[in-house]
Amino acid sequence: MTSRPRRGGNAPDGTGCAEADAADGDHRPADDSDALDAPVDPDAPAAQRGTEPAEGVRVAPDEPLAVIATGPAGAARRDVLAALLDVPPTTVPMPDDSYLVARYAPETTRVAFVPGYRQPHALAIDVPAAGPAFPRPPRRVELHLPAPLLRHVALVGAPDTDALGIAGSRVLCELAGRGGALLVVISADQVFTAAELDLLGRVARAGLAVFFVVTPGTTGWHGGVAPAATAPVDGTETPGGTPFAGVTPPVDPVGAAVRTQRAALLAVVPELAVAPWFPFRPGGVGALRRALVAWAAGEGPRRLATAPPAGPHRTVPVTPDAHARDWADRLDRQARAHAQRIRQHLAIELAHIHLRAVQEIVFGAGCAGLPRVLDREVHALSQLATVECDRAVDRLVRDTGTLVFGTPPQDTTHRRICAAVRAGLAGSRAVRSLERVLLVTSAGDIADVTGAGALAALDAYPGAPRTAVLPPVAVALAGGCFLHFWGPGSTDPGGARSWLQHVLRELDRELQREVSHRLDAVRRALGAVLAEAVDHGILLA
């Protein structure tokens, strides 16, 4: 893997002019207590204040607020989170390929959620290395602390952006869309890569709140900024060391480093011009903490204001010609059409996953990096399948409800129908087969673990309780896959590619059956609810 380009290392990042302009600009100092830019205005437009969800994400009014902390490796993101929580850095675990979720609790605890297990595993607080040796990285580690900041907002530490890839970026965008804000930590001598700029561009277009923190680089605050000039050009000084008149005033390295990073970013993503920037010094994160609290104080009420009114439980009559509209046959055809469309989308995505995984084997980290890459890919694939199934169910309820009731169902009616369908699924055996996790084994086969606890272990960041009709689609790699490719004798690229092809074929076959089974179960449950309404003339749900 190539090393990350750093500022001042003649890296072709295309931001040289922006850096020069920043270095020659205003040199006002930036102290620990004040940001270089004001926090987001609560009365600003939605594109600036971050009240709209990320692309493809519908944020529930009761979704808890969270700030997703991300950034490149080596930017001291762990130190920033520890300073915000006012704890030692050793208390904040940042395992590779895992998400850290910090929530408020009266007592400090740490638990790890590992795919394939129904119960979380407790981790010791005082000894970072204590606890069970997991066969694979946890999907998330939850840290409960009595930190005052966590009373207002949760903090979520994401993996390094260097290793996210396309799939990891999709997962991160989904989490940021639900949480509402992104905290980007970068050091003074690092530059944003093309993938990071694309990620920030998507976040900016989604209208999320973004906060930037610049940490000292490997060479301190100077990075690509020249040290302060305090002597005349000829090298002579006045007897007291005072520079002659006309000499360039000293350059504040902290403020110059932050302005350099900001100018380089805005040259590519000008939509983030209103995002505040903060320099980081241990013990000096008061301004950043206050900005996060102020954002949460404004975003929380706005989300609650989007909640639909409860309203009275009114009677919903069935259209007089409901029997003649052939709604049951249309529901059956539409359910099969949605299942076919989702299966095609997933098959195309599996082909893309195969291409990216082969590139990782041949040009990336080799066979040892295949489990991590594939686990990120199937995590994003799970989210895609879940969103596709949820949208299909919404279309089925809306279109079939329009045939039965004569007009498109209102929000309250839509929720009543969905609640009745969920109750119908819960009363049948179908729900037991829907709440399961598909695990890829070291042999390339697909095993499953059932139960709500197994599903919860695959959440990178659990938010509000799920109100959709169907449980989420969940796919992950079992620990044996990691042990196999991390062990000796597993460095054959041909064998790794053969194993990968077998796994993707099995996943395609299993997901085809899973999607068909899910939509067929919804079709039967929805058909029973609407048939009861047609028989009685009103919606009984």
279 three-class SS? strand
- Residue 232's φ and ψ, nearest 5 degrees, are -65, 170
Residues of the chain with CATH 3.40.50.300: 66-222+253-306
Whole-number pLDDT of residue 491: 81
Dump pLDDT digits (tens) for 44-98. Answer: 433 333 333 444 446 788 899 999 999 999 899 999 999 999 999 888 888 788 9
In this structure, are strands 109-113 and 140-145 parallel, antiparallel, or unpaired?
Answer: antiparallel
What's the CATH architecture for 66-222+253-306?
A: 3-Layer(aba) Sandwich (3.40)
Whole-number pLDDT of residue 133: 73
Dump pLDDT digits (tens) for 44-56. Answer: 433 333 333 444 4
- Residue 74's φ and ψ, nearest 5 degrees, are 80, 10
Q: 3-state DSSP: the chain helix, strand, coil percent, rounded to 5? A: 45, 10, 40
Whole-number pLDDT of residue 247: 54
pLDDT at residue 36 above 70?
no
**Distance between CA atoms of 76 and 183, rounded to whole angstroms?**
13
For residues 501-514, give the mean pLDDT: 96
Residues linked to residue 191 through DSSP beta bridges, in sequence order: none
Fill in the DSSP letter of residue 212: E
Whole-number pLDDT of residue 48: 36
pLDDT at residue 13 above 50?
no
The CA–CA distances, whole Å, from 84 to 21, 96, 145, 402 equal 32, 21, 12, 51
CB of 529 within 8 A of CB of 400? no
pLDDT at residue 495 above 60?
yes
Dump pLDDT digits (tens) for 319-368. Answer: 888 777 889 999 999 999 999 999 999 999 999 999 999 999 999 888 99
Task: Report residue 505 as tokens.
Answer: 């074929």
Dump pLDDT digits (tens) for 360-387. Answer: 999 988 899 999 999 999 999 999 999 9
* pLDDT category of residue 429 using cuts at 50, 70 and 90: low
- CA 62 from chain centre, in angstroms, equals 18
**Distance between CA atoms of 101 and 145, rounded to whole angstroms?**
11
Look at residues 161, 285, 279, 160 and name the one whose alpha carbon lies nearest to residue 220. Answer: 279
Of all residues in the chain, the percent with pLDDT exceeding 70 is: 81
Residues 360, 365, 367, 373, CA torsion sign: negative
Helix segments in 427-474, DSSP class H: 430-434, 452-456
For residues 477-506, give the mean pLDDT: 90
Q: CA dihedral defined by 433, 439, 440, 445, rounded to 10 degrees?
A: -40
Of all residues in the chain, the percent with pLDDT exceeding 90 is: 57
CB-CB neighbours of 503 under 10 Å: 25
* pLDDT category of residue 268 using cuts at 50, 70 and 90: very high
**Distance between CA atoms of 25 and 264, rounded to whole angstroms?**
13
Radius of gyration, CA atoms only, the chain: 27
Look at residues 301, 276, 304, 308 and name the one whose alpha carbon lies nearest to residue 289. Answer: 276
Whole-number pLDDT of residue 158: 94
**Distance between CA atoms of 144 and 179, rounded to whole angstroms?**
18
**Distance between CA atoms of 163 and 171, rounded to whole angstroms?**
13
Look at residues 197, 259, 188 and name the one whose alpha carbon lies nearest to residue 220. Answer: 188
pLDDT at residue 476 above 90?
yes
Look at residues 405, 426, 420, 400 and name the one whose alpha carbon lies nearest to residue 338. Answer: 400
For residues 379-408, give the mean pLDDT: 94
pLDDT at residue 7 above 90?
no
Whole-number pLDDT of residue 157: 95
Q: What is the pTM of this model?
A: 0.84
CB of 52 within 8 A of CB of 280? no
Task: Report residue 435 as tokens.
Answer: 């709440």
Between the two ends of the chain, the Cα-to-Cα distance in Å is: 57
268 three-class SS? coil
Fill in the DSSP letter of residue 183: E
